Structure 1
Amino acid sequence: MTSSVPVLMYHYISRWKNPIAVSPELFEEHCAAMARNGWRGIGLDDAENFFIQGKPLPDKSILITFDDGFLDNYVYAYPILEKYGHKGTIFAVTGKIEPAAAPRNTLKQVWNNECSADALPRVDQPYVKHELGFDERQDPFLNWEEARLMEKSGVMRVSCHSAWHKSVFISPEYDGFYQPEKRTRTFDRIDSDIIWGLPRFKALPRLANRAFIPSQRLLAAIRELVPQETDAAYAFFAEEANLERLKTLVQGFSKDELGSYEDSMSLQGALRQELSQAKTTIEEELGRPERSLCWPWGAFSPDALSIGKDLGFRCFFTTEMGPNPAGCASRIHRFKAKDKPASWMMMRLQIYSRPWLAKLYSSIRL
């Protein structure tokens, strides 16, 4: 029986070049090599029972996870997992999952000659040209009908990765201003009132930090100077003199005048809303209880953990490397699955299936 369950952390299964993307061709190599060497991707229910109760699992059991809920997980990862007899888990940002619609084509339809590769959804290119001329990040996500189809198949589970995967401002320190321009990140949204011209205050994950809230006086002054229609704001920032006027305006505010920190009651309420909304949405859309939560960016506070447990979550997944022995439900480690050969993957599975070796290796890698 296994003594430590390796948990793989994928994000994109896509041909788009990105540090957290693995091509579908290489992902298939990973899955084929795992099957060939006796490793099997298990279902989340079985993993939860091991993490919570210590229920035994066969040797070479692994949990294959995908963060965020990108559409490529359905188009590419789902049929590849099924082909090699593995199961997987998608930790989805529930607010990003699209409304129920007809399931879209997957790689399986291409294999069965039911459609051409050109008929697959746009999942290898996340940028779309904005009408003002700059590129804007618009990652496609799963829809709820696709989530239900995957769960019904028994191949893929869809679980919680928070409701919105947002950050919060954490201090009055800032670098630049919000303006219409190329978006390079998927999850760059701030849990605050964002207007054009607002200083880009330092930000960190919502579930791990107390929010710094810009003052209403600051917001009103910026709105008076900076047009809030996107095309007009774009034209405003094209003029260097306008940017200097904005800088002068904001520099006229002391740090205390720029904003204040949320109180404990507001913080607790925000954490509870973010987690309860995600859990309720999953349970209502998929018709089953939800026990697992994957922390966005792996970041959480003691308050967030306490609220998560109070809401009924039992398993909490991080982005930290390390062993996963029976009973580790409050802090489950994962390792990043990289765009590297299957031999690299096989070596990591050997490491993370041995508690002492996983602990030693992760301490060296920190």
Structure 2
Amino acid sequence: MDLKKIKYIASKTLRKNLDDLTALASGGYPGFVYRKLTLPGADQIPVFTFHRLEPVSFEAQLKHLAQNHYKTLSGDEFLSCLTGVKRLPPKAVLLTFDDCWGSLWAVAHPLLKKYGLQGVAFAISDAMEQGDGVGATLEDVWAGTRSMDEILGREVKAPLCNWAEIKRMSRAGTLEFQSHSRMHHSVYIDSEVVDFVNPDRYPSFMFSDFNPLINLGANEVAEWDLDARCYGEPIYPFRASFAARRRFIPNHQVSAACRAYVTERGGKHFFQSADWRKELMRVYTNIAEQESEKGTIVSYHQRLEELVQDLTMSKRIIEQNLENKVDQICLPWYQGDAIAVEAAKLADYRACHWGILNNTTVNTVGDDPFYVRRMNDEYLFALPGEGRQSLLQILAKKYLNIVKKRTGMY
């Protein structure tokens, strides 16, 4: 590998993990992350966040919890302990799982059941398909009826869990399901075009924070309902929906005309031209000049109503499918603003889960439940007990794995 590529990988990795490294450097992690302790901090509740699960590493994490007698809390137990309603048990932790990736069913569910542990999963309510059945799990591998390759390839075939799988996990008690919003989307916040949807910049919450709602005729839809028809859609400055106090809604006629221009010229093939951006910008400018306005700005109060509706509908959809009460929201991409907390309270939620907040990941009994801090799952190995790993070991393993994945060494 050449030096230029190594520098690029290092730079991208640093940007992605800057909040984490800043919090570590400022002492924002619990004491057990930095030094060997007998127990986690008094009155502290470590909250770990997972996304996609890999069988070997996830089982090692659960073994560390089980062998050292940690108690995994339910969502309700966590809130009761955080607010002081119930006494915090020794060695209590909360495991949270964002997005409901397919590996939640295939990997997490059977392993949580195996070790007698539990967690809280945050579902994107409008992204979950009903499903005719359930996919294979590690239990099928253990029984010799399915291959490990099928488990490892689950998210290629079906990235997210379906409702049939979610219902089974909920009934089994391994996972409690709360809200991750309806569509995990971003919104435009200004009217100046910065780019156009193209094969190299496609909306998807799975790979970036660019996932706007795009109006293809009837209603605004999110990325899992989109296809090549959205090529040529103008892109404006955007922000995670729950972090945006205002919203710009583009003129539908302008957007439709730009998409039609690309479709008429071969769709994906249009972007093979070196000057396609200049050409499309000229088209956009000409069309926009013919229209009375580029779009409309949604005010703070309208945005608040939108967010309350989002949270209310997400709650309703999950509760209609499952038997548990939904009163906690995990903010998409960990991004939010005071408007998100206000909306959550108006929608009768009791907690908001974030990532790192104010350079800290520590949750202490008595803290505000609308500002729950969470740390990445690799720090679970720093929990006190037999087999604990030092911070140096954790970071070395983490960044070595990142380099291997991005350089194709796996």
User: TM-score with structure 2 length normalisation?
Assistant: 0.71
Which of these residues, 206, 212, 215, is aligned with residue 190 of structure 1?
212
1:239 lines up with 2:279 in the alignment: no
Hey, what's the Cα distance between the residues in 2 that align with 1:275 and 1:248?
A: 39
- Would the aligned equivalents of 2:270 and 2:276 in 1 still touch at CA under 8 Å? yes
| Residue type of the alignment partner of 1:11 | H
1:335 lines up with 2:369 in the alignment: no
| Residue type of the alignment partner of 1:201 | Y
Which of these residues, 207, 222, 232, is aligned with residue 242 of structure 2?
207
1:186–1:322 distance in 2 versus 1, CA, 3 Å: closer
Could you tell me which runs of 5 or more consecutive residues in structure 1 were left unpaired when the two chains were aligned: 14-22, 127-137, 351-366
1:40–1:220 distance in 2 versus 1, CA, 3 Å: closer
**Counterpart residue number, 2:339:** 303
**Counterpart residue number, 1:92:** 123
Matches within 5 A, 1:44-193: 44-120=75-151, 122-123=153-154, 126=156, 140-181=159-200, 183=202, 185-187=204-206, 188-193=210-215
- Would the aligned equivalents of 1:52 and 1:314 in 2 still touch at CA under 8 Å? no
- Classify the secondary structure of the residue corresponding to 1:171: coil
**Counterpart residue number, 1:34:** 65
Residue by residue, what CA displacement relative to the aligned partner does 1:128-177 show, whole Å, maximum 9, x if unpaired? Answer: xxxxxxxxxx7611111211211211211121111110001122344321
Which of these residues, 34, 47, 56, is aligned with residue 7 of structure 1?
47
1:337–1:223 distance in 2 versus 1, CA, 3 Å: closer
Aligned residue pair count: 324
Q: CA deviation at 1:271?
A: 0.9
Q: CA deviation at 1:249?
A: 2.9
1:139–1:251 distance in 2 versus 1, CA, 3 Å: farther
Residue by residue, what CA displacement relative to the aligned partner does 1:71-100 show, whole Å, maximum 9, x if unpaired? Answer: 101111111122222111111111111204
Matches within 5 A, 1:323-362: 323-328=362-367, 329-338=369-378, 343-344=381-382, 346=384
Q: CA deviation at 1:59?
A: 0.7
- Would the aligned equivalents of 1:63 and 1:88 in 2 still touch at CA under 8 Å? yes
1:33–1:166 distance in 2 versus 1, CA, 3 Å: same
- Classify the secondary structure of the residue corresponding to 2:101: coil
| Residue type of the alignment partner of 1:250 | Y
| Residue type of the alignment partner of 2:361 | G
**Counterpart residue number, 2:323:** 287
- Would the aligned equivalents of 1:178 and 1:198 in 2 still touch at CA under 8 Å? yes
- Would the aligned equivalents of 1:2 and 1:61 in 2 still touch at CA under 8 Å? no
| Residue type of the alignment partner of 1:167 | S
Structure with greater proportional strand content = 1
Q: CA deviation at 1:260?
A: 3.6
Aligned-residue Cα RMSD (Å) equals 3.0
Percent same amino acid among aligned pairs?
25
User: TM-score with structure 1 length normalisation?
Assistant: 0.78
- Would the aligned equivalents of 1:169 and 1:203 in 2 still touch at CA under 8 Å? yes
Residue by residue, what CA displacement relative to the aligned partner does 1:155-201 show, whole Å, maximum 9, x if unpaired? Answer: 11121111110001122344321124475844442024374323321
